[in-house]
Structure 1
Amino acid sequence: MIPPPENVMDSWQGIEQSFHSGKLAHAYIIEGGNIKVAENFATRILQLLFCKHDEAPCEICSSCSSVGERKHVDVLWLEPESKSRQIVVSDVEEVIARMNRTSFEGGWKATVLLHADRLHPVAENKLLKILEEPPSRSLLLLVTDNKAALLPTIKSRCLHVYCKEGSESGVLDIENALDFFPPTTGLEVGLLCNIISAALSQLLGNRNEAMEMEFTSGVELRKEVVEARLSADRKLIQESVVIQLVRWLHDVLSVQAGINEKNIYFHDRVGQLESIAQKYTADDILMMIRELEGLKLRLDSNLPEQYVFEEVFRKMVL
């Protein structure tokens, strides 16, 4: 058996023990700050199910290879393909039909929903049917980087696995940007925008390279899937910036409220957070959080990305 990466070792051991004891759940939400890390973890779970060797997953047998190439006959992969970048009702109907049929190889049957947080609300409600009455030897994996966007009724019927980010996971790093956030001058607004823009461009370039590698590795991707995935990637990376900045401001509020340092997300920057907490009122911070939440909608417009960020950041210079 090839060991998993260190950053997901703890999560993997729990899955492996459940599988070998016959207690694998019928549905898992696999969450990772980097969707690719969570996606790779889902692939490894499937290889554990379908591997032909005793020490599974070997990653080299025909079953492991077909899972890795998304060609296994008993695995259905779904991700947003429509122009709205959502998983729609017809997709979920296909999931239900596939899961209720006998598997082709007489064993497990599985479905992976990539970017599960993009389930259309109606499709999400329809998915409850398969979660409430799961067929035998079936597995549903909901892969996401935003579990909070899923319905509580969905989350309550799945086990949650969190995949920690490795040092080279490709997650957008905005640590340098936090040195200038919230901005206090127009100059800092410009520096902040430049740092974020450069980080976005670099990570999007890495994602495009990864997509090209999938082509060369033999994974067949339809044009509409590629376009939808690239578009979704850009949106996800933009949202990751907003999420981290909001977390930063929530930490400022936590410091103002005297919350224990252990419960602060950016606990290694407490000194900086304390300085910000003394400079601004709670109302100031709440205003900034509202502006960031509105930023998500403005990023969906046709306005230039950097212009949208700059417009919002300038409102934070008090």
Structure 2
Amino acid sequence: MTDTAEQTASAAERAASPQGDAGALREPVLSARRVIVKVGSSSVSGENAGQIEPLVDALAALHARGVEVVLVSSGAIATAIPFLELHGRPTDLATQQAAAAVGQNVLMWRYQTSLDRYDILAGQVLLTAGDLENATPRGNAQRAMERLLGLRILPIVNENDTVATHEIRFGDNDRLAALVAELVDADLLVLLSDVDALYTRPPQEPGAERIDVVAADDDLSTVELGDIGAAGVGTGGAGTKIQAAKFAAGSGTPVILTSTANVARALAGEVVGTWFDAAPRAVRD
């Protein structure tokens, strides 16, 4: 058996692993001092806008324990759709940029209104791909994030869709979340979606098995994703989440991939979703 085949087989075997084995890996959740949580457009916009409040409840519980929390939130364009009387997500760049300008304002207002219940102040951080690819703006972004966290402010990060173009953009906020986790040296990344975990194939199909744990060297190329986790109003899906999770885990940050409904349980260390075990961290200057 080749190395790739062995890695793929090991991931499939862990799909049915005992919860106790997976639970032992969740200990870093309770010891994490800096956590990134990423939520997608479909979870916080339209008829699901009501999920903002329980999401904030979970983040506030972390904040109350002294944990530094960063929220990476999609949803600006999707939030603007009813306000601009659009029939769906715009396809042309100019309307996308205009929708982002309107929707980001509404989205931040909704988050801050919910955070007010806990006397937590949010700080908006809008980034482009160039901000994290070039040394000077990357350093500026890192300094700003560190200062916000030091002031006990909850940064809410999104791609700056108003100025981003198709050529210079992250493409999805899963990738952005993984890069932010690396930027601030996070202890944990939680990627939220519409699906409760990663499966060997779309979960509605016969024979689909939940994958509880993914080791740092597991090959997931044979996992059949279909259209799971792609709700139509955002730009991500299961494929982008796997790529982001593997990147973050490879950089030394463990990842939980689960549904938005499970966020409180995930952050409490319960065995929900799929755990991506982290590779050993490189020595940093």
TM-score by length of 2: 0.31
Structure of higher RCO (CA pairs closer than 8 Å, 6+ residues apart): 2
**Which structure is larger by alpha-carbon Rg, 1 or 2?**
1
Please identify which structure carries the higher strand content: 2
TM-score by length of 1: 0.29
